[in-house]
Chain A
Amino acid sequence: MPNILLTQRCVRSCPYCFAKKHMGGADPGAFLPWEDLVYLADIMQEDKCMEMRFLGGEPTLHPAFADFAAYSLARGFSVTVFTSGIMAPKVKADIRRVFETIPRAKEKLSFLCNINDPAKSPPEEVPAVEDFLQEFGGSVTPGFNIYTLDFDLQFLFEYILRYGLKRNIRLGITHPILREDNMFIRPEDMRAMMQRLLGFLPQFLKLDVVPSLDCGFPLCALTDEELGRFHKAARGKLHFSCGLPLDIGPDMQVWSCFPLSAINKKSIYEFDTLKQAGEHFSQLMRNCRVEAGGIYPECDACDWRKKQLCHGGCAAHILKKIDEEGNIRALKLT
C-alpha cells in the first residue's frame, strides 16, 4: 500500500519529524500534479491496491487536495489522509463538499490525525486542531508519535470522548533521521517507553479504545505477561514488524519508508508495477538486515526475529549506526 506525498510543505515543525531528512532535500513548493495522480491511480488499480493514502508534509496544503480526494473516490478507491488537522477554513469547506456530494464518501474517506500533546504544542495550533476534530471527528482516527519518555495520552482519550473520534489510537515511535538531529526513542529506552505505554492500558480498556502499534516496536521490550495484556487491549492485532511501505513523493521519486530514503531513491517510472518496486526495496532491506539484524546486538541471533515475529525494530537505527561507523561495510549509504 503506497503512501503518496501530495506536497512536502508542512504547517508544523515537530522536533521528532521522521520525514525531516526527506523534506529538507526537496523543493518545498512541489505539489503532486494531476497527471501523476492519474498515473498512480492506474498502477494501483492494476495491482488491485484500492486504497489511496495521502501524506505530506501536510497533504491538505495541496491546492487540489479535496479534488484529488473526490477523484480518487470516484475511481473507487478508499482514501486515508494523514493530516495534522491544521488547515484553512476553505479546505475544510471543500472536505465538507466531498462528504456531501460524493457517493459513499462517509464510508470511504477517513483521516488519520497526528496529534501532538497540546501542552507541548504552540498555542495557536491547538484550537485549529480542535476545530478540525469538532467538524470531522467521526471520520478521524487519532495518532500519536512517541518521542520522549514522559509522554502523556490523556488528552487523546479526552479528544476521543469530546469529539467522537474513532476508538483507536495509532501509536508510532519516532526514529532517527540519518545525518540529522531529531528527537527519537533510543534502543536502550524502548523498554522504558513500553512501560510508560503499559501504564495507559487500563484507560484503553475502560474506554474501549484500541491501541494500534505502528512499525518498529521491538517485541523484547515487553515481557510475556505484558505482551498478553497488550494483546488483549489491541484485540489481537499486535505486530512488531517492519511493513516496508512505499512512499512516493510529489516528484514521483519512490523509496521504502523514510529511513531507507537515504540509501536508494528511485523514480516510480523505473518500475512497471508497484509489486516490482516493492520487491526492489525488500531486497535493499534484506541487504541492510544482513549488516545488522536489528537495533540490538542480540537481534542477530534472536529466534523470534528468525521466525518473523519481530523484525528487530526500525531499520533507521541500523542505518544510523552503519553511517556513524565509517566506510567499513559492504552496504554503502549514498
Chain B
Amino acid sequence: MDAFTTITGPAAPLLRANVDTDMIIPAQRLIGAGRDGLGRFAFERFRFNADGSENPAFPLNQAPYRASPILLGGENFGCGSSREGAVWALRDLGLRCVIAPSFGDIFANNCFQNGMLPVRLAAADVARIAEQTAASPSNAYTSVDLERQVVVTPNGEEIPFTVDARKRGALLEGLDEIALTMKRRAEILAWQARDTAARPWAWDPVSR
C-alpha cells in the first residue's frame, strides 16, 4: 500500500451531504472489475452529460480542480454500498484525501486500505477551506499533513485533526495488514482449537 505523509494541492469542493458510493461509481461499472482504471467512471452521472460531454458545472471538470489531490465533502460522505471500487475510482482520478465532517464507516475503512486519507473536520472548517480556495482557485493550495495531523488552509491557517492512531501508523508506513496478521497465525489456530471445544455448535454444522 502507498504510504501517506503530506499531500498538497487545490481542494475540490463537493459539499453536498450524503454523497453515496453509488454516486461515486455506479455498480454497473464494477461487475467483475479490478482495482485499476476506474477513474473514468468516478462521479460519471455528474461529471458527464447524457451525450457523454463534460458537465462544466461539476467541480472536478473545472480547471484548477482537475488535478486536485484533495476533495472537500459534506456530511456522511461515502455512505451506502461497501464497494471498494468507490475508493479505487477516486484514487485513479488522482485523489489522495477527502476532508468532510463525517464519513460512511465502510468507505472510511476502504480509504485506509488504499492509501487514501479520510479527514474529519467541522463543517464550518470544510466550508472555510472551500471559500479560501474559491477566492483564488488557481493558486490556492491546501496541505494535509498526517504526521502532524494538521490541515493547512490556503490562507495558512492550521486546523488540527485526529485520526485513529493505528490507522495513522499503518498509513504513514504503508503497512500490509494481511502480512501483520499472518504473524499471528499460531494464535489464530490456537483460538480456533479452543473455540471448537467451547462452541462445538458453531463448528459442527460446517463439517457436515
Chain B associates with chain A? no
